[in-house]
Amino acid sequence: MVRVRFAPSPTGHLHIGGARTALFNWLFARHKGGVFVLRIEDTDRERSTEEYIEAIIKGMEWLKLDWDEGPFRQTDRFDIYKACVAKLLAEKKAYYCYCTPEELEERRQRALAEGRPPRYDGRCRDLKAPVPGRTPSVRFRMPDTGQTVVNDLIRGHISFENSQLDDFIIARSDGTPTYNFVVVVDDVDMKITHVIRGDDHINNTPKQVHIYNALGYEVPKFAHLPMILGHDKTRLSKRHGATSVMAYKEMGYLPDALVNYLARLGWSFGDQEVFTREELVKCFSLEHVGKSAAVFNPEKLLWLNGEYMRKATPGELSDMVMPLLIEKGIIAAGPEGPEGINRQWFEKAVASLVERSKTLLQLAEAMRFYLSETVEIDPAAKVKFLNLESLDYLVDIRDALARTAEFTHDNIEKAFREVVERHGQKLARVAQPVRVAVTGGTVSPGIFDVLEIVGRERTLKRLEKAIKLAGYGQ
């Protein structure tokens, strides 16, 4: 059975690159009917925090990347690592190193100055006795001749000259194990069959292959994903915009849209751009992952998010936008949800705005004029449309709307047509001052739909205010 893992270090929030790695592992496992394991690699005690562990898990949950086993934490597994270190020492496949950090740094600088690779010189390899007064680290004994060849499922054969690889530390002097060692022990213990990760780990691979061999374990299949670049073709970073997954949640992106976009960063299936999760699982394969770096395009993500918003039902969008409206104080939350909100009316308001919104945040802001008792009128729109020239239109519309039997789309349209015909004007000339009066701005859905949703009472109140602003009675 296929078994894959996502193994983030909790030294920061779940970012775009990590999320794509998690997604590709999740898709591969689901496509193959395998197991997806979540493992937290928290051996870096100085930088790993509980806050970041929680943030990573929340990011995974928001993206709906459910795991089958875990989350496992490396700090709970130190006894396993110690036993494996002891095994390698006993078999002379590892040795104690008594070099201090200061000595190692001095030699590194000397090697760089002399134009040599800054490799460990192996001086502790064949020590016969401990060095008094020093607590040693443990180094793995690497072969110094031949090649290490990795058959990468994405990049093909990759060769490494063993002479360029130095003996690396597998346990620090304080007893804590290092990444390249514990990752192998964990992957074996968790029966990982495929290691799918970013190509920044390629140089770690030969070290890990030799650890597998030394411990007598079968080497898994490796697949190294191309990195993600910003628009300027440099590695994606904060200067290119948000990189944290949860930042996109806060900006009003839908998790399905982000998953769809991340899947297309480095993977393709013909010319198809929009995929359901079911389609992604069905179509995904490592054979269609490219070798070249992928470029993150915020505009394309925004477009895709708009597509997903239009695909969602009014009920689904209502559930997603409601927390944002409460957070912004646009609506009040009671013990059982928003207070005083008719669900059917709310969904109708949401449906009227979705075509003009590309994010939930935009939708939430656009909802203000529906949900507020009064609106703040844009100063420029006020000067242009709420003036003596529009005064008669506003008064006549107010009166016509007040006379309508039922405040429905058709009756509102009929009232407008009467005023337009009376004044011999085009509909837009009458509708725009009303739009500014009722919504506060110059852009909105169709005016008849808007007024029906706003309702008769609030519409007439807003028109009264606009009439006064336009100079009525002065």
pLDDT at 8: 96
C-alpha distances in angstroms, 70 versus 35, 66, 76, 276, 339? 11, 10, 12, 26, 39
C-alpha 31/C-alpha 195 separation (Å) is 16
Closest residue by Cα to residue 466 from 436, 441, 445: 436
pLDDT at 473: 39
222, 156 Cβ separation under 8 angstroms: no
Q: Which structure tokens are listed for 389?
A: 């020239």
Beta-bridge partner residues of 333: 338
The tens place of each residue's pLDDT in the chain, 474 residues long, gives 999 999 999 989 999 999 999 999 999 999 999 999 999 999 877 788 899 999 999 999 999 999 999 999 999 999 999 999 999 999 999 999 999 999 999 999 999 999 988 889 999 999 989 999 999 999 999 998 999 999 999 999 999 999 999 999 999 999 999 999 999 999 999 999 999 999 999 999 999 999 999 999 999 999 999 999 998 888 887 777 668 999 999 999 999 999 999 999 999 999 999 999 999 999 999 999 999 999 999 999 999 999 999 999 999 999 999 999 999 888 887 655 566 789 999 999 999 999 999 999 999 999 999 999 999 999 999 999 999 999 999 999 999 999 999 999 999 999 999 999 999 999 999 999 999 999 999 999 999 999 999 999 999 999 999 999 987 534
343, 287 Cβ separation under 8 angstroms: no
Closest residue by Cα to residue 201 from 177, 175, 220: 220
Spacing of C-alpha 178 from chain mean position: 28
Instruction: Please list, in sequence order, all residues whose beta carbon lies within 8 angstroms of the beta carbon of residue 208, skipping any fewer than 6 positions away.
Output: 180, 183, 184
Instruction: Please list, in sequence order, all residues whose beta carbon lies within 8 angstroms of the beta carbon of residue 213, skipping any fewer than 6 positions away.
Output: 219
137-140 and 94-97 strand pairing = antiparallel
C-alpha distances in angstroms, 378 versus 201, 333, 414? 53, 28, 28
CA-only gyration radius of the chain, Å: 32
Residue 235: phi and psi, rounded to 5, are -60, 135
Residue at 353: amino acid letter: L
Residue 242 backbone zone (phi > 0: left; psi -120 to 50: alpha; other: beta): beta
Catalytic residue among 238, 282, 291, 414: 238
pTM of the model: 0.91
Burial class (CB in 10 A: 0-12, 13-18, 19+), 207: buried
How many C-beta atoms lie closer than 10 Å to residue 284's C-beta?
Answer: 23
333-334 and 294-295 strand pairing = unpaired
C-alpha 12/C-alpha 8 separation (Å) is 9
Dihedral over Cα of 69, 74, 75, 79: its sign:
positive
29, 5 Cβ separation under 8 angstroms: no
Can you give the length of the chain in residues? Answer: 474
471, 394 Cβ separation under 8 angstroms: no
- In the residue annotation, 238 being an active-site residue is answered as yes
441, 378 Cβ separation under 8 angstroms: yes
DSSP assignment letter at 218 = P
Residue at 95: amino acid letter: Y
Residue at 88: amino acid letter: L
The residue written with tokens 């559930």 in the block is: 319
169-171 and 137-140 strand pairing = antiparallel
Residue 336: phi and psi, rounded to 5, are -115, 25
Q: Which structure tokens are listed for 436?
A: 């500014």
